[in-house]
Structure 1
Amino acid sequence: MEWKNEYARWDQFEDLDADLKENLVTISDDEQALEDAFYKNLEFGTGGMRGKLGPGTNRMNIYTIRRAAEGMARYISEKGEQWKSRGVVIAYDSRYMSKEFSVETARVLGRHGIQAYVFTSLRPTPELSFAVRYLHAAGGVVITASHNPPEYNGFKAYNEDGGQLPPDQAKEMIDFVNQVDNELSVEAADQEELEASGLLKWIDKEVDNPYMEALKSVNVNPQLTKQASDLNIVFTPLHGTARTLVEDGLKQMGLENVHIVEEQAAPDPEFSTVESPNPEEHQAFTMAIEQGKLIGADILIGTDPDADRMGVAVPDESGEYKVLTGNQTGALMLDYLLSQKTDLPENAIMIKTIVTSEFGRIIADSYDVASLDTLTGFKFIGEKIKEYEESGEYQFIFGYEESYGYLIKEFARDKDAVQAAMLSAELAAYWKSKGKTLLEALDELYQRHGYFLEDLQSIKMEGKSGAEKIQDIMDSFRNESLNEVGGVKVLSVEDYTTLTREFTEDHSSETINLPKANVLKFILEDNCWFCLRPSGTEPKIKFYFGVKSSSRENSEKRLADIKQAVNDKLSTIV
């Protein structure tokens, strides 16, 4: 078997890193573990790469990092000496090996004569996005696995605009990465020599300070927040990178009544107080809720380890805290931003993804603001911001996705949990000044526009066999005609591998004007839909559901019926 040859190549490599060698010996008698570690190269995709730490071609380690960095170095070198001198900014989070992987990346880039700017300590992903733009760099890298479990890490690549690589650029870099045949032979320059020559520069305040200055523009109503001294906030960075910037950003707005969940304040690669360091998971708010109840907090804010995702929880009428979904928080943000702007541009546009609630589109419509759907992934939103900035066709006003990612001001080109934390706190202050909670404000929006409810179901399927099962699920839903789901008629099916929208009634079709992706979306009657999408960063397949009706009760029943029908079909496949 081919994987055995790859294993032998590593096992016989005399200069193999000592820790990786020891780990390799530990699994040497476990054929299944060896196969999973060596059956393929860890895929470098459109978002970079992400995987479990450990020895092997299908793992995150210094050699697979060097392979990715070598591909990036060749990509930049082909563009010429000016690009090499502009350099690459590198940031990292609190995970195992994050700083080491950052240095390895800089060493490989330096071997090619490419300037590297590396933060002296951990920084959030959105600050990396800002730093690339601020330093006029040729690109950027963040070493992070976002909200994955502790055994994961990753390498995210950014372009000169500070956004994750869109498909065309990603394909070019992927081709260079795939040309690297032997990750064990990639050369890296000496760190001290790079520092002495200036090809490796350590950075911190020279980027922190301008980023903090840019954050001031997120504050829609400074007079309101400076008078909101009674707003009681609990914040948890979930052992990640956001504490300093969020605290300082809120203080800059005049919001100083901020209580940190101290047990989760320090960086911790084990994320020891949570099952998952993901604000999408309600359990991540357990400690914040306990603290919130003790002090009567108006809003709880949580950010993931690399601070690109943010979630909030707010008290209901009985004092129990409810975690809002990304769709709900996004709807509240969008409505607030549009309602407060007296000088809204005529060509304003809101951008969301195909799996984000239609609630946002309806809200934008009510303010005569255009809206656009992109594929899942904030890189597509960032790409559109740049396109509109250059063409002048539209003025970006807000971008978001259901997975707790928001961007208010385009000085960053990736989702920004620091910006989102600030706007969420301002939202809470605004509605508190009106005598209402965010839940009451959300209910007002529902009454005005209809009861939009959504849900997400993820199924984890790890390893080679898991990847095959995920493809079986996609093939089955793709090939079997569905006329109704949960008693709701199917109007059309959108297949993003063929970029076609086929209408159920007459089998006519039309072209979808988006990049290709392995995604299926079923459009049902009455503004209902569901979507299947294998995750690009985790061994999961995700099912997204969305419904709308005139009442919460009807929407809840409709959502349950559609989910049940999809799960019944799923049970016949898996």
Structure 2
Amino acid sequence: MTSWEQVYQKWETFQDLDANLKNELTKLNGNQLALEDAFYKELTFGTGGMRGIIGPGINRMNIYTIRKAVNGLANYLLEHTVNVKDRGVVIAYDSRHMSKEFAIETAKVLGAFGITAYVFKSLRPTPLLSFAVRYLGTVSGIMITASHNPPEYNGFKVYNEDGGQITPNQAADIIACIQQTDDELLVPYMDQATLEKEELINWIGNEIDNAYLEKLIDISKLPAEEREQEKAIPIVFTPLHGTAYELVSQGLAQLNFTNVHVVEEQAVPDPEFSTVKSPNPEEHQAFTRAIQQGKKHNAAILLATDPDADRLGVAVKDDTGNYQVLTGNQLGALMLDYILSHSDSALLKSGRMLKTVVTSELGKAVADYYGITTINTLTGFKYIGEKIREFDATGETFVFGYEESYGYLTSSFARDKDAIQAAMMASEMAYYWKNKGKTLHDALHELYERHGYYKEDMTSLTLKGKQGSEQIAKIMATIRSEPLQEIADLCVKATEDYLIGQRYTLDNPENIEAIELPKENMMKFILEQHSWVCLRPSGTEPKIKCYYGVCTENEKESIQRISALKQAMERILEQIIEG
């Protein structure tokens, strides 16, 4: 009997197994491939938490894998932080299947340790959870969400006492504590009635929402008297069946945007996300209904938030009058330019802009233009949050942080990407440029004319299951052992291997520079003619992602170069997999 079969048998014969999970296991009886995938490994707890398909098994999201994770986290908190039981942990959840149930299970296990849980009465966005950690002064925060993954997924995301996602070092210690839990089926927990009787669970109403909204209005760059004026610019907003409806609507209202049209059928929380193929604003199909409504109301800007409201997508009219979905790189550069152009230069001498290594270099060009220092981080907003925390000690000023995957942060009262903040800033930008007789599309092309025609793209190759994991590992091992010399007829000038933290040039490979960032399984190739390619396995999905960036003197040439790079990398990856 193989090891996965032994684990399956343990679950199958466990007398107190949850009835729903027992029924699902029965349905899988005889399906060896499905059972192996559910039991062949434990669901990975990565640098931010865990995410997976809901169902029975140690490689699935269910009450037992949740309990095991919380058990480990509780032991970590008691060992590494102070006043844990009094300060407690705040828990929020989104609109997905089992989200509230998983939130309550989390509180039950914390209660067994005597740790107080603060749980929102109803669904809330991820950035509000980040803010709540800081507002309540808890030792940690937990968000039950799978962000924009398909409906069958859910996740468990951990935040530190600063309100940021846990750092790699913190994650490593938490994982070690989780692994000390021998049996996920036997984790101690307290029933909900006892939790409430002993006041180990506190239900949160609107107090934190109101405190957040007070902070939100202060991110505006408009003069105080202009904030009070009615703004009739037409806006269409869709929360894509997620958590953002209330806070985005209230945020726009308090800035006196009076012509906001919500896509009503997508304002209703729905774990199946029934009106979209994917609740991901990065994918243009998510804007289908917003575009229909935008045309009806002649909207200047369309806003779309993902289910847990940490990512924002924006569409604006192009030169032909059709709606164009901006990329994360484009929207980030526009917001950065707007913020810096409306900030006191004297106050920005210590200003710092944060972006990831796979985010467009257009952001750095904009920051340089205003005399602001750019700091690159690894992919993942946890690294941006970690830098902001360092600024608290160094006196450096955080002015903006963003990543290409639609994540932005304008003000550090939250410490994770915040689609609500971004929605306010994007709407204000659209209002500002409209008053000048321009669209955000016009403003973007002004940036290109000033800084060059930057263009970026990303492709992802999905390789599911055990075989897929092995193929992804093979790709990265091959790229490391046989470094690329050229891509699409562009010579590789330098190679950056973030796993070993080294950068070297091809003309002088012995001259090795250290990369002062945490280690990550990622390779970046700096090419001639202001181009680059980066290869990175996803930490949360069965994918390997390839990022591309170029800059030329005109848009057509940039589009052609990106296309050539994509085709070349697709051939390279295909050859490695088949080889």
Q: 1:536 aligns with which of 516, 528, 539?
A: 539
Q: 1:382 aligns with which of 370, 382, 385?
A: 385
Q: d(CA) in 2 for partners of 1:79 and 1:478? A: 37
Q: d(CA) in 2 for partners of 1:389 and 1:148? A: 33
Q: d(CA) in 2 for partners of 1:446 and 1:558? A: 16
Deviations 1:147-195 (A, max 9, x none): 0000000000000000000111111111111111210000110111111
Aligned: 1:315 with 2:317: yes
SS of residue in 2 equivalent to 1:494: strand
Which residues in structure 2 correspond to 1:67-466 (within 5 Å)?
67-79=68-80, 82-221=83-222, 222-227=224-229, 229-342=231-344, 343-392=346-395, 394-466=396-468
Aligned to 1:469: 471
**Which one-letter code corresponds to 1:301 in the other structure?**
L
Deviation at 1:425, TM superposition (A): 0.1
Aligned to 1:28: 29
Q: d(CA) in 2 for partners of 1:546 and 1:564? A: 14
SS of residue in 2 equivalent to 1:344: helix
Deviation at 1:85, TM superposition (A): 1.2
Larger displacement relative to structure 2 (81-90 or 400-409): 81-90
Q: d(CA) in 1 for partners of 2:368 and 2:145? A: 37
How many residues matched?
573
Deviations 1:65-117 (A, max 9, x none): 00011011111122466122111000000000000000000000010000100
Q: d(CA) in 2 for partners of 1:80 and 1:124? A: 26
Deviation at 1:458, TM superposition (A): 1.0
Deviations 1:249-303 (A, max 9, x none): 0011111211000110100000001111000001000000011011100000000
Aligned: 1:19 with 2:46: no
Aligned: 1:499 with 2:494: no
**Which one-letter code corresponds to 2:255 in the other structure?**
M
Kept in 1, the 8 Å contact 2:248–2:423? The answer is yes
Kept in 1, the 8 Å contact 2:231–2:431? The answer is no
Q: d(CA) in 1 for partners of 2:498 and 2:449? A: 34
Q: d(CA) in 2 for partners of 1:476 and 1:453? A: 28
Q: d(CA) in 2 for partners of 1:347 and 1:161? A: 22
Gap change, CA 1:493 and 1:81, over 3 Å in 2: closer
**Which one-letter code corresponds to 1:354 in the other structure?**
V
Larger displacement relative to structure 2 (316-325 or 136-145): 316-325
Q: d(CA) in 2 for partners of 1:117 and 1:424? A: 32
Deviation at 1:230, TM superposition (A): 2.4
Q: d(CA) in 2 for partners of 1:313 and 1:172? A: 42
Deviation at 1:573, TM superposition (A): 1.8
Deviation at 1:226, TM superposition (A): 4.2
Q: d(CA) in 1 for partners of 2:469 and 2:225? A: 53
Aligned to 1:512: 515
**Which one-letter code corresponds to 1:531 in the other structure?**
C
Aligned to 1:522: 525
**Which one-letter code corresponds to 1:445 in the other structure?**
L
Q: d(CA) in 1 for partners of 2:15 and 2:27? A: 17
Aligned to 1:560: 563
Q: d(CA) in 2 for partners of 1:422 and 1:230? A: 15
SS of residue in 1 equivalent to 2:282: coil
Deviations 1:401-453 (A, max 9, x none): 00000000000000000000000000100000010000110000000000000
Alignment root-mean-square deviation, CA: 1.0
**Which one-letter code corresponds to 1:447 in the other structure?**
E
SS of residue in 1 equivalent to 2:348: coil
Q: d(CA) in 1 for partners of 2:310 and 2:227? A: 23
Q: d(CA) in 2 for partners of 1:348 and 1:12? A: 60
Kept in 2, the 8 Å contact 1:84–1:138? The answer is no
Q: d(CA) in 2 for partners of 1:124 and 1:527? A: 38
Give the TM-score of the pair, scaled to structure 2: 0.98
Deviation at 1:477, TM superposition (A): 1.7
